[in-house]
Structure 1
Amino acid sequence: MDKFNFVRNGMIRLPPGFRFQPTDEELVFQYLRCKVFSCPLPASIIPEINVCLYDPWDLPGDLEQERYFFSNKESKYPNGNRTNRVTSSGYWKATGSDKKIVSPRRNNIVGKKKSLVFYRGKAPTGSKTDWVMHEYSLVNNTGPTASSTENSINQKGSWVLCRIFLKKRSCQKDEDILLNYDSCKVKNTEKGQLQITSTSPVSSSSSCSSCSGITEVLSSHEGGDDEEISGCTKF
């Protein structure tokens, strides 16, 4: 029996002031390896749940925090090796290359981390969301060093450890979209100076490209009437 058990009704409940922030190596060596070989865990802090039976927002725990689960991988086909990652509302899609988790003592690959993104709908036309999952698995490595090929790395056991979190959106993209809608009005004043006004604030680093490079005002004749130019002047 594990010495510490902080899981209540499938949710992690730590004492006040404690935070569970393990590294990749700690998740593989201290938790997943013990789970695969049925050894005592450092603490019963990670619940067991089939993550693909739930949408990410329906999994137990605080949606604003990282959540950790032990899960069993299910095959997509009876005689195949592909993993079933389909939920009721969408599916998890792998992205990027797997990260190798290397033993610091023997310099062997003992685990790997796979990154996945959740899509709503059915593949391959689903819509991408901000939900991310890191899936950790223990592997068999037949090669002597960490430079072994992917063909020599196979998952050991059916247990995986999943870290699921909601990726925070960057506000910079929204600001760039607003800047694209800026409209410039240029007025030729009596003193021959340019006065530029905009309907929305424009940052100094991202000004309207068609308004840059204005150095002088050309008039049809001296002392002519004031002219108002709507839009941005191009040269």
Structure 2
Amino acid sequence: MSQHDPHLRSVIYRFYPTEEELILFYLSNKLQNRRTHDLHRVIPTVNVYEHNPSHLPRLAGELCRRDTEQWFFFVPRQEREEQGRRPSRTTASGYWKATGSPTYVYSSENKVIGVKKTMVFYEGKSNKVKKTEWKMNEYRAIEEDVGGTNAVPIRKLRHELSLCRVYVVSRTRRSFDRRPSGIGSTEMVRPEASRGASTSRNIINPTNI
């Protein structure tokens, strides 16, 4: 098979990250300003709340732009959040609304590494609102604060940046629901073994996020 074969390219660049990889590799590296030369090719920084969901696929990273199932973005903290107010999730055609309660994300070692919030997009304004098939998972990282003299490290939630996965609800299982064994996240940015997950018992209550 030729290396220029379009089917081969689609196999190489399919993006199958686990939630553990999203937080411990991609979000962690971005928060620590590492691998900036290649992360954006997979996950760009975009304020998703400034765009209607249907416009987001074209803003995806160049290696994931052909994906028809899911798209990933780093989302910076809004200025209103820095002032202690709730973030605005309103777009020109509707708004994102949280569904259910935020939940913890665990590592393969069964340690809390982040918080996930799921949202649904509603189209329209005022009384003419329609629930759409667009959904989004928002991930925030939890890290240990090892400073001070406390015997037990304190877990802190990183607010300055989140990682969002945008997708369309489907009645059939998608590729990201049945991640094939042996396939890494991407040929260019392949997650390494996850280490350094928090071991603290000082748990953050995700319902307060």
2:165 match: 163
Q: CA deviation at 1:63?
A: 7.3
Does residue 46 of structure 1 match 2:43? yes
* Displacement after TM superposition at 1:122 (Å): 3.2
Distance 2:47 2:55 in 1: 12
Higher relative contact order (CA 8 A, sep 6+): 2
The residue type paired with residue 51 of structure 2 is: Y
Aligned to 1:133, which of 121, 136, 161?
136
Structure showing the higher helix proportion among its residues: 2
d(CA) in 1 for partners of 2:134, 2:144: 31
Query: What is the CA–CA distance in structure 1 between the aligned matches of 2:159 and 2:73, rounded to whole Å?
Result: 16
Structure-2 residue corresponding to 1:84: 88
Quote the offset at 1:15 in angstroms: 2.9
Contact 1:73–1:84 under 8 Å retained in 2: no
Structure 2 gaps of 5+ residues are 1-7, 59-64, 146-151, 173-209
Letter of the 1:99 partner, please give it: T
Structure 1 residues 69 and 101: CA distance shift in structure 2, 3 A: same
* Residue among 108, 120, 134 paired with 2:123: 120
CA drift of 1:102 comes to 2.8
Aligned pair partner of 1:99 in 103, 112, 128:
103
1:113 alignment partner AA: K
Aligned length, in residue pairs: 150
Q: List structure 1 runs of 4+ shifted beyond 6 angstroms.
A: none
8 Å CA contact 2:20–2:108 kept in 1: the answer is no
- The one of 111, 114, 117 equivalent to 1:111 is 114
Cα drift, residue 25 of structure 1: 0.5
Query: Could you say which residue in structure 1 is the equivalent of 2:16?
Result: 21
Contact 2:45–2:75 (8 Å) recurs in 1: yes
Deviations along 1:12-54, one digit per CA (max 9) or x if unpaired, are: xx93322101010010001001111112269521111111111
From the superposition, tell whether residues 103 and 128 of structure 1 become closer, same or farther in structure 2 (CA, over 3 Å).
same
Taking structure 1 as the reference length, the TM-score comes to 0.54
TM-score with structure 2 setting the length:
0.61
Task: Give the 3-state SS of the residue equivalent to 2:100 in structure 1.
Answer: strand
The structure-2 alpha-carbon separation of the partners of 1:37 and 1:64, relative to structure 1 and needing over 3 Å to count, comes to same
Quote how far apart the aligned CAs of 1:163 are: 0.5
Q: 1:138 to 1:77 in 2, by over 3 A?
A: closer
Moved more, 112-121 or 33-42: 33-42
Contact 2:98 2:118 in 1 (8 A): yes
Instruction: State percent identity of aligned pairs.
Output: 35
Is residue 77–residue 159 contact of structure 2 (8 Å, CA) maintained in 1?
no
